[in-house]
Amino acid sequence: MQLSKTKYCRGIQCKKILWLDTYKPEEATQVNDDAVLENGTEVGELAKGLFGKYSDVAFSKELSQMIEKTKELLLNENIVITEASFQFENLFCSVDILKKAKNQIELYEVKSSTEIKDIYIHDISYQYYLLKKLGYSITKASIVSINPFYERKGELDLKKLFVIHDVTNIVEENREQVEDNIRQMERYMKTEEIEDNIDMHCFKPYPCPYFSYCTKHLEKENIFSLRRMPKKKLIKFYKEGITSFEQLKKININDPYKRQVLYELEEREPHIDVEKMNMFLSTLQEPLYFLDFETFQEAIPKYDYTRPYMQIPFQYSLHSVENGKLKHKEFLSKPNVDPRRELALRLVKDIPMNACVVAYNMMFEKMIVKHLSELYPDLRQHLLCIYENMHDLMIPFKEGYYYTKEMKGSYSIKYVLPALFPDERDLDYHHLDMVHNGKEAMYLFKDMINKEEREVEQIRKALLAYCKLDTYAMVKIWYKLKDLVDTKQKETMEVP
């Protein structure tokens, strides 16, 4: 079995992942996040210059070419090499950054994360082990991560953006464990398929692409269908043999989990708490402004006064309702410019002072507005007024004032909307063109700088349509809740 550092880390998470990658790759489901992969690539490229001038080993499908190029570069007494590649027996690795001073070598593994995860230690431990087997003298092994507190002001400062964590002592202690892990993986790969237990390794450090395959023996509605229950609790139930909704029905579990189980098993009618719903609706006074932002994140701060992975708003949709009249306004930034100032100016123009603003999961929108108020003192008063007058349309669903089995235990708008309007095509995100969720919106907006004018226009139309549906959906939900309360009250009054 040929083993790379990526394969080794997959085997550390679960050896069966390696086995399935080899023998049943068609059973995998797509779990990669394009934005995460993009950030990783961008960070890796930028970090190559962390120590100044460097020599890069270009990728080749012929690994021997990369290995020979590395040997050639290592003839230099002092050099920084990126993607230095090595092979020992059936083990291969490319080192993100290798520093050589005379005969002393330092290894640096670059990650786009802002924290150090155990799997990163396994990653660099494997590299350290391999190079030690080849006889190299390694004086330092480090993980390079992103500093989440770095705020860009002017030119990018790599020394402040990146944090170097010296893990030399740890990887040295791990050498025997790495060798044992490799032996175990090699033995496992020679076996017939083994039914491994479902456990936390199915979710951490990364979601397993074979989870559906490994749980195919379970009922369609099983404990892993429960929304928002902690993974450790789900695993505990699984190990106790409690896997079906029928079994869950017989034991003591708290709402909202119990509610989801009972509604789906017993085909219960929708529940509505008229009193609490009325109290909530009474807080929403016309004119109402339904607001939704779309944002992007970047590991490397692109604009002044931004930090790694900060949510940068580039678009909003705004529906307003007054005296039964529905109006719509929107904003979408041009690509490759800091969108915040223009967006903030448009926002205070489109939302009057002291207006009742409605968002779905408002903490996100409030966070964006608060940041804008701190960034632009001249707009602060108006923006803070928007912030203070914001209401959350998610509350009736999160708190259980309204529930139906079609929501499947979720209060996300992507579940609530089809539950309330199962037959309305114009409220179905699946029928939108190109953009169906926030991640796709972020990715496409960032990718516009790489597109031709015709494609940019298509993306803009798709982004506007998606964001517009978010706020139109809120309007429809608001009306629906009012109708449900009115209908329920009339039914109550008609009962003799």
Residue range 56-102, pLDDT digits in tens: 999 999 999 999 999 999 999 999 999 999 999 999 999 999 999 98
Q: What is the DSSP string of 264-320?
A: HHHTPPPEE-HHHHHHHHTT--SSEEEEEEEEE--SS--STT--TT--EEEEEEEEE
Model pLDDT, residue 37: 65
Model pLDDT, residue 429: 92
Residue range 374-408, pLDDT digits in tens: 999 999 999 999 999 999 999 999 999 999 999 99
pLDDT category, 337, cuts 50, 70, 90?
A: very high
Residues in the chain: 496
Do 291 and 351 touch, CB atoms closer than 8 A?
A: yes
Tokens 């223009």 map to which residue?
342
Radius of gyration of the CA atoms of the chain, in A: 27
Residue range 52-62, pLDDT digits in tens: 999 999 999 99
Do 10 and 59 touch, CB atoms closer than 8 A?
A: no
- Estimate to the nearest angstrom the gap between the alpha carbon of 392 and the chain centroid: 23
pLDDT category, 40, cuts 50, 70, 90?
A: confident
The C-alpha angle with vertex 319 and arms to 316 and 325, in degrees rounded to 5, equals: 165
The structure's pTM equals 0.91
Structure tokens at 166: 């010296």
Residue range 227-269, pLDDT digits in tens: 989 999 999 999 999 999 999 999 988 888 999 999 989 888 9
